[in-house]
Amino acid sequence: MFDKSDSLFPVKKNYIYLSHCAIGPMYAPAAESAKRFIDTHSERGRVLIQHYQQVLAAFREKAAQLLKTAPDNVAYVSNTAEGINLIANGYPFKPGDQVISYVHEYPSNHYPWVLQKKRGVELILLSDTDPFGGLPAHGPRAWSMEELERKTTDRTRIVALSHVQFANGYAANLEELGTYCRDRGIDLIVDAAQSLGVLPLNPEEFGISAVAASTWKWLLGPRGAGLLYTSPQLREKLDHIMVGPGMMKNKFDYLGHAWDPLEDARRFEYSTLPWEHLVAIDKVLEEVFLRYPIEAIRDEVFKLHDHLLALIDTDRFKPLLFPREHRSGILAVQTRGDPVTVVGAMERQGVIVTAPGGYLRLAPHFYLTEEDVAKAAEILNTLR
């Protein structure tokens, strides 16, 4: 079913790449689209607009298809942090309001909420716990719905959590979490940098107010690019904190200065955007993530995980095993020694992995084969 050829994924010529949770290698046709745009910019200047007039609309349309929403709910942002900052700083907090998050959240979904303390907002952090039993205690594990329920009050305005925890791959049950928040009038803000492109994500079905994600991990797109989904109900609440001609209805009337901002998600695209990023994202969305069902991509990645698990020496490398509804594209492994040392040793033998948070992270994407991960397991098992 999947085209796994080296011509589409040339990183395979150099490495067994198990680091899509860090920086995913760009899909080759996407990189070629970006290069063509840059060449056109160099050779034609502003005339390039004639050739790329619809690129932003095409991006919104395809990103919306991926999220099963309307294009009016999707905006381009530069990264996950920008998207979450636009929400956190524009939210109508009052002194005493509360935000619930997790003690080991990625900084992009932590610091924007810390900043709200200057407005009198209280940041409540869920503790690290083992809701399933048997997880190692030396590094991040998970948060629990039971604690979230205990810490929710009538002052809770936002729950801000990652769909997938970056350090160990724990995936939230977004259907359960979204229903809980929606029933209580709480806005659920989701960092999807570690899930978009490998796990299904339907914000409207799940009752999610906002989703922010970067494109250079599982989406195999360019660095410095991302997307932001917001529900119409959330946008009605948010104040403008970044403004410019791009988010005005009269965006090309530069001397008019009429304050008439757009009401859909384009309000967040306040100024000039990097079209070389947009054409690259458009290409990878069209040819990969709208070609293959995301459920099929997820199942292929899980199959590669299972193959790894059957081959690695579990006396030396102990994997964190979550129930299926909490699995993700990241397979985290506890090592006897320093995992950073393992990262270097693996790279010297042509296997790319990462190790933040105390775990070795094995994160293959769908275009790898069982032979690829078998070779990676063999190298891992023979490390001294």
Q: What mean pLDDT do residues 128-155 have?
A: 91
75 touches 227 (CB < 8 A): yes
- pTM (predicted TM-score): 0.96
How confident is the prediction for the chain on average, in pLDDT?
96
Structure-token pair, residue 7: 């011509």
pLDDT over 90 (residue 52): no
Residue whose pair of structure tokens reads 């083992």 in the numeric block: 130
pLDDT band at 301; cut points 50, 70, 90: very high
Phi first, then psi, for residue 223 (nearest 5°) are -70, 150
Q: How far apart are CA 280 and CA 347, in angstroms?
A: 28
pLDDT over 80 (residue 51): no
For 222-233, write each residue's pLDDT tens digit. Answer: 999 999 999 999
Please report, as a single letter, which amino acid is at residue 383: L
Q: Which domains does the chain have, with CATH numbers?
A: 10-26+293-381 (3.90.1150.10)
| pLDDT given for residue 354 in this prediction | 97
| pLDDT given for residue 135 in this prediction | 81
Q: What mean pLDDT do residues 76-98 have?
A: 98
Please report, as a single letter, which amino acid is at residue 300: E
Q: What DSSP string describes 177-196?
A: HHHHHHHTTPEEEEE-TTTB
- What single-letter DSSP state applies at residue 335? E
Q: What mean pLDDT do residues 233-257 have?
A: 93
Q: Work out the percent of the chain whose per-residue pLDDT is above 90.
A: 90
| pLDDT given for residue 134 in this prediction | 81
Q: How far apart are CA 38 and CA 278, in angstroms?
A: 12
| pLDDT given for residue 65 in this prediction | 98
373 touches 353 (CB < 8 A): no
**Element housing 296 (H / E):** helix 294-311
| pLDDT given for residue 55 in this prediction | 93
| pLDDT given for residue 133 in this prediction | 83
pLDDT band at 159; cut points 50, 70, 90: very high
Q: In 3D, which of 170, 162, 179, 180 has the Cα closest to residue 113?
A: 162
- How do beta strands 331-335 and 317-319 pair? antiparallel
- What single-letter DSSP state applies at residue 289? I
Q: How far apart are CA 343 and CA 362, in angstroms?
A: 10
pLDDT band at 76; cut points 50, 70, 90: very high
